[in-house]
Amino acid sequence: MNNNDSEKRSTNRRKFLKLGLMSSVTALAGTSLISNFASQEEKKPSGEKIRLLTPDGKIVEVDATNINKYPEALITPEESRKGIPDRKFVMVIDLARCKNARKCVETCQKAHQLDYNQEFMKIQLLQDNENVSPHWFPKPCFHCDEPPCVTVCPTGATFKREDGIVLIDNQRCIGCKFCITSCPYSARIFNWGHNDKFENKEIPYSPETQIPAAEGTVMKCDFCPDMLRQGKLPHCAQSCPMGVIYFGDKNEDIVTNGEETVSFSELINNRGGYRYLEHLGTKPNVYYLPAVNRQFPLERGFDVDEDIIKRYDKVPYVKDLKAQGKI
């Protein structure tokens, strides 16, 4: 392959989010994104133009004022359960880059209006064996191809879509917690009640955002399908300053962390990618790259709030670091 061919391939991959993903999912949203001009009061144009792909395959430019403020709310229940056509979403987490900056956690909490102690993305401290130092381990929902949570749900509140995403419909959830006990990854949390914290009461509920979540129901990481419909990365991948989280489409064999876009299969094969607890047969759609040639010493991850540090107090390695005055 010559340099020109290589450059073209690289350029095409970089266009994945800017054009490929955006065009396909926006076509699905189509009329949902564009406000009804006939029914709206005349608005002064903002001058900001947004390109959209219409359902008949044409690219059009519309003024930003004509974009619906909550397009996810116009996604029908049938569409939210079916998913985005021809896509199979996948996440890859590079453990060598993670330093526990926690931007993924904080941004996710803000986007889903979670309390401080509610986390869809959990950062654990894992040690593969006694001969190596521990490493930071971000853990979202794994959106399994064989999800036990879907199997045990008695109401169909938890469902798996054609695009690989597993969601929860809070309007069907009865809070039985069967899904919580069946999940081997402890990816789910129970909402004991924080409805009063939602500032904007106008936001209509959608399974694709889980906002506002109902008291007495279950919540979890959702891969941010409302962002995907806009051609954007999930909040966690967007916010990570170290480029730890890659996200993309397994069907297209492309993933990106916002800075670089690469082949999913090559990344997994060349870096020894694996799936956590794969022997359980759940077939998760979150992959990990081993924590080799780490970019940061472990102690850099303790530059966080004291109550976060206390979570790791019982870890022997952490006790040694404290005794040495490194944290």
In eight-state DSSP terms, residue 181 is: H
Judge whether 180 lies within some domain.
yes
Once rounded to an integer, what is the mean pLDDT over residues 103-119?
92
Rounded Cα gap, residues 317 and 302, in angstroms: 13
- Residue 194: the pLDDT is 61
In eight-state DSSP terms, residue 1 is: -
Shared-domain flag, residues 24 and 149: no
Once rounded to an integer, what is the mean pLDDT over residues 267-292?
96
Q: Are 288 and 276 in contact (CB under 8 A)?
A: yes
- Residue 133: the pLDDT is 80
Query: Of the ranges 15-29, 33-47, 171-185, 311-325, which one carries the lowest mean pLDDT score?
Result: 15-29
Shared-domain flag, residues 88 and 64: no
Once rounded to an integer, what is the mean pLDDT over residues 145-168?
97
- Residue 10: the pLDDT is 44
- Residue 14: the pLDDT is 41
Q: Are 30 and 68 in contact (CB under 8 A)?
A: no
Once rounded to an integer, what is the mean pLDDT over residues 217-229?
94
Length of the chain measured in residues: 327
Q: What is the pLDDT of residues 16-49, one digit of tens each?
A: 444 444 444 444 444 444 443 333 445 577 778 8
Q: Out of 45, 70, 95, pick the residue that ends a domain.
A: 70
Rounded Cα gap, residues 198 and 12, in angstroms: 41
Q: What is the pLDDT of residues 121-144, one digit of tens each?
A: 999 988 877 777 889 999 999 999
Q: What is the pLDDT of residues 73-102, one digit of tens each?
A: 567 778 889 999 999 999 999 999 999 999
- Which of the four pLDDT bands, split at 50, 70 and 90, describes residue 146? very high
Count of Cβ atoms closer than 10 Å to residue 127 Cβ: 14
Once rounded to an integer, what is the mean pLDDT over residues 206-229?
89
Among 3-7, 91-95, 167-171, the range with the most confident prediction by mean pLDDT is: 91-95
Rounded Cα gap, residues 94 and 319, in angstroms: 26
Shared-domain flag, residues 142 and 272: yes
Q: Out of 70, 94, 120, pick the residue that ends a domain.
A: 70
Q: Out of 70, 101, 120, pick the residue that ends a domain.
A: 70
Rounded Cα gap, residues 40 and 36, in angstroms: 6
Q: What is the pLDDT of residues 233-245, one digit of tens each?
A: 999 999 999 999 9
DSSP string of 108-142? HHHHTT--TT--SSEEEEE-SSTTS--EEEEE---
Shared-domain flag, residues 175 and 117: yes
Find the domain containing 42 and state its range. Answer: 3-70
Which CATH number is 221's domain given?
3.30.70.20
Judge whether 192 lies within some domain.
yes
Rounded Cα gap, residues 237 and 258, in angstroms: 8
- Residue 150: the pLDDT is 98
Query: Of the ranges 8-17, 189-198, 267-276, 317-326, which one carries the lowest mean pLDDT score?
Result: 8-17
Shared-domain flag, residues 135 and 94: yes
60: β partners: 52
Q: What is the mean pLDDT of the chain?
A: 82
Shared-domain flag, residues 26 and 111: no
Shared-domain flag, residues 224 and 258: yes
- Residue 90: the pLDDT is 98
Shared-domain flag, residues 55 and 97: no
Shared-domain flag, residues 62 and 165: no
Judge whether 29 lies within some domain.
yes
Judge whether 122 lies within some domain.
yes
Once rounded to an integer, what is the mean pLDDT over residues 103-129?
90
Judge whether 203 lies within some domain.
yes
% of the chain at pLDDT higher than 90? 50
Query: Of the ranges 67-81, 215-229, 235-249, which one carries the lowest mean pLDDT score?
Result: 67-81
Shared-domain flag, residues 267 and 156: yes
Shared-domain flag, residues 127 and 251: yes
Shared-domain flag, residues 141 and 33: no
Q: Is the pTM of this model over 0.85?
A: no
Judge whether 150 lies within some domain.
yes
254: pLDDT strictly greater than 70: yes
- Which of the four pLDDT bands, split at 50, 70 and 90, describes residue 295? confident
- Residue 16: the pLDDT is 43
- Residue 53: the pLDDT is 65
Judge whether 152 lies within some domain.
yes
- Which of the four pLDDT bands, split at 50, 70 and 90, describes residue 8? very low
Tally of structural domains, the chain: 2
72: pLDDT strictly greater than 80: no
- Residue 3: the pLDDT is 52
Once rounded to an integer, what is the mean pLDDT over residues 96-113?
93
Judge whether 33 lies within some domain.
yes
